[in-house]
Amino acid sequence: MHAEEDYLSFSACTELPKRGYTAFCANNDASKSGYMTDLDFEEMMLNVGEGMSYLRNQTEFDKVVILGHSGGGAMMAAYQNIAENGVQACQGAEKIYPCSNQLAGLKPADGLMLLDCNYGLSTMSLLSLNPAIEDESTGSKINQSLNLYSPANGYTSNGANYSAAFQKTFQTGVVARNNRILDHALSRLDAIEAGNGTFSDDEPLFIPDASYIGFNNKFFSQDTRFLAHTTHAWPLLHKNGSTTTQIIPSFLDGAIKTTVKRYLSTLAIRVTSDFAYRVDGFDGIDYASSQTAPLASIRGVRVPLLTMGMTGHWEYLNAEKLHLNAPGNDTSIAFVEGAQHTIDTCTECESYPGEFGDTMVTAYDFVGGWLEKKGRFL
């Protein structure tokens, strides 16, 4: 299951059964059209919970392990955290929009697998904000000093090489715009709860040039010097079944249309004035303020955990951060050489045909081996 996409034909649905495992693939009730961001945090959690309850009621299954990919990883990490620790995991004072008691009693999984899990729906929305937007009502007025695509700021058709001065200006602009949007949404929430909203229960919120989907991620996707490698050495899986341990290098539409409450509960996150892009991550993001940031959720997960990163995409670095922040006693990590975000081979990343082999086989063979390890689940 993914937070927003149709995952009934996702690769795990066919690759895991080939290796002897039963795969239950389902969609949540979020729209799959892309016309509206109707994600709602509590609805996502309840949808996962319905699937978990169904599986727990099947007598032929002894263990249930949930798999989250990309934004689905953020969803599954949040679910498992709440299921293991109760609603106090999502009701703390640090949360922008605390959850309700409706999420009490969620059934936990026996294990969690996060494959190329992104930094979270809220974090990716932050990382997709265009700070050059000057007018939230149209999105067409651009501050050229913050324009990522201006040659004067370091952009070329072959990729960007932004200066340190532009980086700092851009980062400051991201913080400022995020704070403006968050303050506006919180003020509208106050108005709604006081009976002065556009509607009695919620109201529309459009945020130009902020969609969290990958093609809209900003700065590091243009200047590939950023998010370029892991901090530490980890296992890198190769096409011939071999593994090396090393620093892992990277091989590398539009507006959010939602509502005030959905934004605050699902897509909002706090950021501090020292927000910055690094070669191996970010500074200044308050992950704990969000319900959908897996780096916060993972701190409550103690079941066996597998995190994997696909090196043909920038989201792979989050596997390292999740692994380092997981408190459980059984945590594993691996990276797949030359796999793109969808786990298949990034042929454009190859220096010659076949360099990385069939990364789908490499990835799922490793997953299968992790699942079958004696004593882990059976």
Look-up of token digits 């795990």? 12
Q: Work out the burial of residue 348: count CB atoms within 10 Å of its CB; fewer than 13 is exposed, 13-18 middle, 19 or more buried.
A: exposed
Q: Work out the burial of residue 286: count CB atoms within 10 Å of its CB; fewer than 13 is exposed, 13-18 middle, 19 or more buried.
A: middle
Burial 226-262 (b: 16+ CB within 10 A, else e): bbbbbeeebbbbbbeeeeeeeebebbbeeebbbbbbb
- Cα–Cα dist 360/306, whole Å: 17
> Partners of 234 in the beta sheet?
246
- Per-residue pLDDT tens digits of the chain, which is 378 residues long: 887 788 899 999 999 999 999 999 999 887 666 656 788 999 999 999 999 999 999 999 999 999 999 999 999 999 999 999 999 999 999 999 999 999 999 999 999 999 999 999 999 999 999 999 988 887 788 899 999 989 999 998 888 999 999 999 999 999 999 999 999 999 999 999 999 999 999 999 999 988 877 667 888 888 888 888 999 999 999 998 999 999 998 876 567 889 999 999 999 999 999 999 998 999 999 999 999 999 999 999 999 999 999 998 888 899 999 999 999 999 999 999 999 999 999 999 999 999 999 999 999 999 999 999 999 998
pLDDT for 287: 97
Specify the 3-state DSSP secondary structure of 284: strand
Neighbours of 374 (CB within 10 A): 6
Q: Does domain 11-120+289-372 have CATH number 2.30.42.10?
A: no
Taking Cα atoms as reference points, which of 268, 291, 262 lies closest to residue 204? 262
What the block records as the tokens of 228 is 């370029």
Look-up of token digits 């882990």? 376
Neighbours of 20 (CB within 10 A): 9
Specify the 3-state DSSP secondary structure of 238: coil
Neighbours of 215 (CB within 10 A): 9
Dihedral of the alpha carbons of 43, 7, 68, 359, in degrees to the nearest 10: -170
Specify the 3-state DSSP secondary structure of 121: helix
- Cα–Cα dist 110/112, whole Å: 7
- Type of residue found at 206: F
What the block records as the tokens of 37 is 């961001």
pLDDT for 69: 96
What the block records as the tokens of 306 is 């597998």
In angstroms, what is the C-alpha Rg of the chain?
21
Specify the 3-state DSSP secondary structure of 248: strand
Q: How many CA atoms lie within 13 A of 37 on its CB side?
A: 28
pLDDT for 159: 83
pLDDT for 39: 83
Backbone φ, ψ for residue 162 (5° rounding): -75, 145
- Cα–Cα dist 297/81, whole Å: 6
What predicted TM-score, i.e. pTM, was given to this entire model?
Answer: 0.91
Q: What is the residue extent of each domain of the chain?
A: 11-120+289-372, 125-286
Backbone φ, ψ for residue 92 (5° rounding): -65, 160
- Cα–Cα dist 76/79, whole Å: 5
pLDDT for 33: 61
